[in-house]
Each structure stands twice: as C-alpha cells, then as structure tokens.
Amino acid sequence: MTTHTLDICGVHVSPHHYIGGQRSTSPESFELHSPIDQRLLGHVSEGGAEHVDAAIQAAQQAFPAWAALGAEKRKGFLDRFAEEIGKRADAFCVLESNDAGVLLSRMRHGVVPRAMLNISWFAEHALRLQERQIETDQALHRIRHDPAGVVAIITPWNSPLMLATWKLGPALAAGNTVIIKPPEWAPLSSSLLADAANAAGLPPGVVNIVQGRGATTGARLVSDPRLARISFTGSVPTAKWIAQTAGANLVPCSLELGGKSPFIVLEDADLDNAAATGALMYRNAGQVCLAGTRFLVHKRVAGAFIERMRGYVERLNIGDPRDEHTEVGPIIHPRQVERVKGFVDRAVSAGAKVLWGGALHPYGAQYFQPTMLTDVAQDSEIVQNEVFGPVLTLQTFESDAEAVRLANDVDYGLGGVCYGETARATAVAEQVHTGFIWVNSFGIRDLAAPFGGCKRSGIGREGGDWSFEFFCDIKDVIVPNKPFRASFSQR
C-alpha cells in the first residue's frame, strides 16, 4: 500500500485508486491543474481494465455481508462515515476549492454539511423501508426493498463531493456496494472521501474509487455486465452513450443531465427580489445545472428589472475561490472556457446584444465575466443549448401564455424559477414542463423530495423513496390468507 500523497495547500491526499480497502497505483497517470491559476497540482492514477475489474470483484465479494447486515446495522457504519466527513471539513474545502474552483464559503457553509446529511439522512430513511405490507381479501403482500448489487456512480466536476454523497448515501443505505468514478478534472475530494470511509470502518470493498478519464476508465466500467445499477450525472452526449452501452447488458441507469431552465418574471413580481435572485445564477461561475439561465421578463417591467439586476451583478466579487468574500470563481478547465467563449462570440455574431459582460475577465485566464445577452432568437443556439458558464439570456413576453410557451420551447426540462404574485406565479409554474420549479424563491431543497428532469434533462428521480426505488430490487412476497389449492379452470 503506497503512502505517496499530494500536498494541496497543506492538505495531503492520495492520487491513487481505493480498491478493496487499499490504495492501488497505476503505471499510467494524468495531470491535474488548478482552475485558479493553472498550476500543476500533481499526477493522478489513470485506471485501466485491471483496476476496474479489481474494483468490481472487491465490490462483489463485499456485497453479501454488507447486504445481510440490514438497514439498522448499516446505519451505524454510515453515521460514523458522516462524522468522518465532518472531521475532514477543512480538508474538503481546500481540495475542492483548488481542483474544482468551488467557492470556499460555499464548501464550508453548504456543501460539506450537505455531504454529511446525504449519508446520515438516507441511512435513517432506509429504516422506514424495511418492509411494507398490502393486505387484500386473498393475501398479505410483503413489499421488500432488496439491495440490487454492485453500483457504479459517475459524478461531474461542478460539485464532486456533494453529488458523490447524494448518490452514495442511498446506494449504501440500501445495502449495495459501490464503485465511484470521479471526474478527471476534479478527483481529489472523492479520494479524501475514501479515507473517511476507511476511518469509519466500512468493510473493504463496500466503497471503491477508480480514477481516470471518462472515455477510457468510465467506458470500461459502464460496459461491464456485472453491474446492477449505473447512476450518472453529466452531459447529454455522455448519457446517451452510457444508456446504449448499459442497455446491451440490461443494466438500469439513472441519468441526471443538463438544464436550460427558465427564470420567469411576471409584471407583478417583486422586481428587486427577483433581480437579487437572478444574480445568484452566476454562482460557481454558472456551472450549475439547475440554474435559471433563460430570463423571460414581462415587457412592461423589462427595463426596470434589467437595471436592478445590473446593480446586483456589478457588486459581485470575482476572484480567488479560496477567499471567503469571493462570489464568482473560475471556470473549471481551459476547454470549458473556450466552450463558453464560443457560445457568446457566435451569439453576438448572430445579432445578440450584450447587456453586461461578454468576455474573459481580467482576473485570470479561466475567469469569464458574468454575462447577459438579449435580442436572441428562440431557435438560436444560445437559447436552446446549455452553456454551463456565467452566461444568461433575456427575452420578453406580453402574456402568461407566451411566457409558458417560451419556457417550454427547449429540449431541456430540469428546473425553473417564477417570480410574481404567488397564486399567479404558481399557476404559471404548474404549466412549465420541468422536473421542479421554484416560486418566488430559489435553491430550496429537501432530501425527501424528488429531484430530476424531463426531456433531455434526464431519466429518473433522486431523493427520498425515489432513490431507493432505483437502488433496490422491489420484491413482493405473497402469503395467502387461507390454504391455497391449485386448480385448472375448464371451459
């Protein structure tokens, strides 16, 4: 077992895989750079076919005993797991700020507490799913949630710790064993998560981490027929490939994908509150799938709304995410910077007007100005496709029906926001084809509630019972109320 670690601003973390309770090295590796200043953070092990196979074997070997423990005993392990995450709170903050560019303040006050809750809440919730009963005149139906087996979890780079634990919590609480393939642009928090699992005493093979690129390591993982489930959060093109590959083996997939969510402002909205919320769409440099990125504002109040929001945007602190006062940090990778810039340049060339921003930010090479574009056509690329950067569009409407039509006229359906008089805004929100939508608010979440999207925004729901329905095999044990005698009916 290697002791080599990377030193990330005083935090030591392994750059290697975690398989069967042990660190495992690779002859191949890839470079990891910080989005803050492009400095080299180190070299990370690249998983090959042998590492994927070893992780699956370790998970298979650990599964029978972990599944047999039952929800109550698993809860003891998982509660300790959550505690060990908490003990490493400062380290998680440092790692994810440095390799993913996530705001330190967001990590400390939002992500780490949520990561702990993702583990402990689902461990508690699993106790309620031990067995449900349906009694009829003929029989007693005992409905069981049995663990499915070995689960692959593939996470994106925009919030690695939160999204890994969001899937890991219910998967483990249900009795499955897990292989995590972290994002190659931001793998370090997953590596530290393995240390927390080990310190909590989770049996070897229950949690495994195999690092690598999606096109190589990820492809080998999702194509393996020994998997019982695949849970993926990421892009639509990758999801299509995963679904096709998993389909060949009839492995069920949960796919949480991108968004192009509407932010609707009716003419009777509290414009100042709506504008302040609108500025939040630039958090994490706009790399948030559930953000409202298409502003649909009633024509009568568009001018006033724009000026209010401009005031909030001009006050945003842009800079080093490790500074507690920073509100907008860097874009994750040079390739993503070019993608964002390309969207804006093409939109402007097609006639879009820049209300603010529109270019790289002078703070650093991977920083982009918070941007708002208007005079955009409904069928344009910038309106129809996910940018995943600090770029928003603004269109106007003259009736609630038109607002709903524009909101629904994209291929995505993840989230949404609607500001206006509560009853009216609720009526509009109910007509938007999306997985969830906030009325006069943003970001309110509960682990018991469903999360997921419609159309190209994904398949399935996560949260509460919905997570367990995916990570479990639902079984009906049927016990008759009176002696049963087999007979054949005759015609």
Work out the angle at residue 478's Cα, subtended by the Cα atoms of residues 475 and 479, and round it to the nearest 5 degrees. Answer: 145
- Give the bridge partners for 142, in sequence order: 133, 477
| Secondary structure, 3-state, 375-422 | CCCCCCHHHHCCCCCCEEEEEEECCHHHHHHHHHCCCEECCCEEECCH
For helices 160-173 and 112-126, give the axis angle rounded to 10 degrees.
Answer: 10
**Is 256 designated active site?**
yes
| Cα gap 330→97, rounded to integer Å | 10
Which residues contact residue 488 at a Cβ distance below 8 angstroms, ignoring those fewer than 6 apart?
Answer: none
pLDDT at residue 326, rounded to an integer = 96
Provide the sign of the torsion angle of the four alpha carbons 241, 243, 249, 252, taken in this order. positive
| Cα gap 142→149, rounded to integer Å | 21
Q: Does 48 score more than 50 pLDDT?
A: yes
pLDDT at residue 2, rounded to an integer = 47
Query: What is the helix (H) or strand (E) element at residue 244, kind and residue range?
Result: helix 236-248
pLDDT at residue 256, rounded to an integer = 96
Query: Quick one: average pLDDT of 190-211?
Result: 98
What tokens appear for 426 in the block?
Answer: 């609720």
pLDDT at residue 139, rounded to an integer = 95
pLDDT in tens, 244-303: 999 999 999 999 999 999 999 999 999 999 999 999 999 999 999 999 999 999 999 999
Do residues 188 and 164 lie in contact, with contact meaning Cβ atoms separated by under 8 Å?
no
| Portion of the chain with pLDDT greater than 70, in percent | 99
Candidates 152, 144, 210, 148; CA nearest to 176 is 148
State the catalytic residue, choosing from 93, 253, 289, 418.
289
CA distances from 74 to 87, 169, 248 (A): 20, 11, 33
DSSP state of 72: H
| Cα gap 446→448, rounded to integer Å | 5
DSSP code per residue over 4-45: --EEETTEEE--SEEETTEEE--S-EEEEE-TTT--EEEEEE
pLDDT in tens, 433-461: 999 999 999 999 999 999 999 999 999 99
| Residue 485 CB coordination number (10 Å) | 5
Do residues 44 and 37 lie in contact, with contact meaning Cβ atoms separated by under 8 Å?
no
What average pLDDT does the structure give for the chain? 96
| Residue 449 CB coordination number (10 Å) | 13
DSSP state of 318: B
| Cα gap 276→417, rounded to integer Å | 13
53-68 burial, b if ≥16 CB within 10 A, otherwise e?
bbbbbbbeebbeebbe
Work out the angle at residue 30's Cα, subtended by the Cα atoms of residues 153 and 55, and round it to the nearest 5 degrees. Answer: 35
Provide the sign of the torsion angle of the four alpha carbons 84, 193, 154, 175, taken in this order. negative
pLDDT at residue 131, rounded to an integer = 74
pLDDT at residue 283, rounded to an integer = 93
Outline where 280-372 has alpha helix (H). Answer: 302-314, 334-349
| Portion of the chain with pLDDT greater than 90, in percent | 96
Backbone angles phi, psi at 290, to 5 degrees: -90, 5
Q: Does 21 score more than 70 pLDDT?
A: yes
| Residue 25 CB coordination number (10 Å) | 15
Query: What is the helix (H) or strand (E) element at residue 459, kind and residue range?
Result: strand 458-459
**Is 430 designated active site?**
no
State the catalytic residue, choosing from 84, 256, 327, 462.
256
DSSP state of 182: -
Candidates 301, 278, 303; CA nearest to 291 is 278
For the chain, what is the total number of helices (H) and then of strands (E)? 16, 24
Ordered by where they begin, the domains of the chain are 6-257+457-477 (3.40.605.10), 261-439 (3.40.309.10)
| Cα gap 2→43, rounded to integer Å | 15
- Give the bridge partners for 143, in sequence order: 132, 476
Provide the sign of the torsion angle of the four alpha carbons 379, 381, 387, 393, taken in this order. negative
Q: Residue 323: pLDDT band by 50, 70, 90 thresholds?
A: very high
Query: Quick one: average pLDDT of 363-373?
Result: 97
Provide the sign of the torsion angle of the four alpha carbons 267, 271, 275, 278, taken in this order. negative
| Cα gap 211→14, rounded to integer Å | 11
pLDDT at residue 485, rounded to an integer = 84
Q: Residue 490: pLDDT band by 50, 70, 90 thresholds?
A: very low
Work out the angle at residue 477's Cα, subtended by the Cα atoms of residues 475 and 478, and round it to the nearest 5 degrees. Answer: 135
pLDDT at residue 487, rounded to an integer = 78
Q: Residue 491: pLDDT band by 50, 70, 90 thresholds?
A: very low
pTM, entire model:
0.95
Do residues 27 and 18 lie in contact, with contact meaning Cβ atoms separated by under 8 Å?
no
Query: Quick one: average pLDDT of 182-205?
Result: 98
- Give the bridge partners for 373, in sequence order: 354, 393
pLDDT in tens, 204-227: 999 999 999 999 999 999 999 999
Judge residue 480's burial from the number of C-beta atoms within 10 Å of its C-beta, 0-12 exposed, 13-18 middle, 19 or more buried: exposed
pLDDT at residue 3, rounded to an integer = 59
Do residues 459 and 240 lie in contact, with contact meaning Cβ atoms separated by under 8 Å?
no
| Cα gap 143→298, rounded to integer Å | 50
pLDDT in tens, 124-164: 999 988 778 999 999 999 999 999 999 999 999 999 999 99
Question: How many residues are given for the chain?
Answer: 491
| Cα gap 177→150, rounded to integer Å | 5
